[in-house]
Amino acid sequence: MSVDRERREVVVDAEVACNRGWLEQAACRAGTREHESLLAIQNPPSTIHACLLLAGAEPGAPGSWKQGADGTSVVRVPPTGSRLELFVRLSSGDVPVSEWIHDPVGGRVFPAQPWVFAGSRMRPNTPSMGPGEHYGADRTGSIVGIVTFGDEAIACDEVISDQSEVDAPQWQARTERMPEPGTRVKLVIRVVGDAPAAAAPAAAKASAR
C-alpha cells in the first residue's frame, strides 16, 4: 500500500474476487465477502482509513436505512465524507471500478464515481475481544460498499438496502470486462473533494485511530 499526498491518492494491492453474479461490495477484506465482491484486499480497512487521512480525505459517516412509520416506506440517510474516485489499475491502464458493475436486467448504468469516505464506525468489543472498541469494518470486511450495511469504510452515495424484500438485487459483475478471479490488480483511491463541515461523532472517533 502506498500514499501519494501530492496526488491525494492511495494505492492498495488487491485481487479479483468475483467476476460474475450479484454484488454487495466493490471491495472487501480477504476472508470475508469475496462471493459478493469484485475485489479482495489483505490490508485491514482501518489501515486504508489511515492512509486516506494522510492523503487529505475527511471521513464522514456510513449511510443507513429503516422502515418508515407507516410500515411500507423506507427512510434513507445517505453517507457523508470526502468524495473519492476509485479505479482498478491493470497492466493496460486504470479502469473506473464502476465499469465492472452493471444491471443486465434493467439496463441501468452504474454511476461513474459515486464513492464517499464514510469512515465505518467504532463498535464496542465483544467479551472475547476484551475491553474497548474496534473499527467496525475490520471485523465485517466492508471496505467499499455497494449496498448499505452501515459499516463501510468507503460507501456508495446511493443508499441501497441489504435486504432483498426492501430493494431487489440489481447490480452484477460485468464479466466480459473483467479478468479472471485471482488476478492481481491494484485499487487506486483518489480524493477529489472534502467532507461537509460537520462530521458525525462516530466518524470523528474513527478518524482518531
Q: How many whole angstroms separate alpha carbon 31 and alpha carbon 38?
A: 13
SS3 assignment, position 203? helix
For 34, the 3-state DSSP assignment is: helix
Is the pLDDT reported for residue 204 higher than 80? no
Provide the residue ranges of all domains of the chain, joining segments of one domain with +: 2-207
DSSP 67-126: E-TTSS-EEEE--EE-EEEEEEEETTEEEEGGGGEE-TTT-PBPPSS-EE-----EEEPP
Per-residue model confidence (pLDDT) at position 200: 37
Question: In the chain, which ranges are continuous DSSP H helix?
Answer: 45-54, 136-140, 201-207
pLDDT digits (tens, 9 = 90+) for 38-54: 999 999 999 999 999 99
85-139 pLDDT per residue, tens: 999 999 999 999 999 999 999 888 899 999 999 999 999 898 888 899 999 999 9
Residue type, 141: G
pLDDT above 90 covers what percent of the chain?
78
The residue with greater pLDDT, 206 or 146, is: 146
Position 67, amino acid = Q
Q: Which pTM value belongs to this model?
A: 0.88
Mean pLDDT of 193-199: 50
pLDDT of residue 194: 61
Phi-psi region of 68 (alpha: psi -120 to 50; beta: other; left: phi over 0): beta
